[in-house]
């Protein structure tokens, strides 16, 4: 893939950069297609590649020793992932799985480190992303230790609506996560999440359909805080 083709994808990490900013750095980028539930990389994997999501949905999760899934995040289009192993040369801490058909660009870890060392704009953006992740994990830990399951579901839906630009009356969250995925994200179980979602629907807060959540009264999502 040529440098011009890479920049044409308008990936957030490379936005505003020109070929001159990346001059002298070889970018051996490849494209990969994934099927639904295909694993991009597994936890404890020793690969170092960094990936950029072009289409579809990827989730990062951890499989416990008793087989439970704990979902940490869903990646948005253009997001980069896998940079921790590239930067510290350690094993993968999480697995990344395609929730749907997906396409990613793959950059070798050594090249990613070269970009980090030589392109100040990229170094600043990568650092900002890592700081944002620490803040997110801190907030999530607070929710897990202080919020009830009902509050965690409401907080999750509120945050998801904000991320999708749907926090308004009539706002729609398309390609919404399943109840099992919500449960795996907030530290609960599918049955409890299903009961809470039904309760929110009865209270007029949301209306649900397959992979779709419509916000009828977003205020209800913050009523318990």
pLDDT in tens, 122-145: 999 999 999 998 998 898 888 888
- Confidence bin at 15 (pLDDT 50/70/90): very high
Q: How many domains does the chain have?
A: 2
Is the same domain home to 56 and 133? yes
- Model-wide pTM > 0.85: no
Sheet with strand 212-215: strands edge to edge:
172-174, 212-215, 206-209
Is the same domain home to 21 and 120? yes
Over residues 34-55, the pLDDT tens digits come to: 999 999 999 999 999 999 999 9
Is the same domain home to 29 and 126? yes
Give the domain CATH number at 17. Answer: 2.60.120.10
Is the same domain home to 72 and 108? yes
Is the same domain home to 137 and 152? no
Taking the C-alpha atoms of residue 4 and residue 25, their distance in angstroms, rounded to an integer, is 13
Angle at the Cα of 106 from the Cα atoms of 101 and 109, rounded to 5 degrees: 140
Is the same domain home to 14 and 119? yes
Region of poorest pLDDT, from 18-22, 99-103, 141-145: 141-145
Domain extent for 204: 148-222
pLDDT at 91: 94
| End-of-domain residue from the set 102, 125, 143 | 143
- Confidence bin at 225 (pLDDT 50/70/90): low
């Amino acid at each position: 893939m040529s440098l011009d083709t890479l920049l044409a994808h308008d990936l957030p990490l490379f936005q505003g950069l020109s070929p001159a900013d990346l001059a002298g750095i070889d970018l051996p980028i490849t494209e990969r297609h994934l099927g639904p539930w295909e694993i991009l990389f597994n936890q404890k994997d020793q690969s170092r590649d960094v990936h950029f999501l072009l289409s579809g949905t990827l989730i990062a999760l951890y499989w416990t020793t008793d087989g439970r899934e704990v979902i940490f995040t869903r990646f948005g289009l253009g997001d980069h992932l896998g940079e921790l192993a590239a930067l510290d040369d350690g094993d993968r801490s999480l697995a990344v799985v395609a929730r749907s058909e997906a396409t990613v660009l793959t950059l070798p870890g050594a090249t990613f480190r070269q970009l980090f060392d030589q392109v100040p704009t990229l170094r600043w953006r990568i650092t900002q992303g890592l700081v944002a992740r620490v803040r997110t994990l801190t907030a999530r830990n607070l929710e897990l230790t202080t919020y009830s399951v009902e509050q965690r579901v409401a907080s999750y839906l509120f945050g998801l609506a904000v991320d999708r630009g749907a926090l308004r009356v009539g706002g729609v969250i398309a390609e919404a996560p399943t109840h099992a995925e919500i449960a795996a994200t907030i530290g609960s179980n599918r049955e409890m999440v299903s009961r809470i979602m039904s309760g929110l629907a009865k209270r007029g807060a949301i209306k649900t359909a397959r992979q779709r959540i419509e916000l009828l009264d977003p205020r209800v999502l913050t009523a318990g805080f």
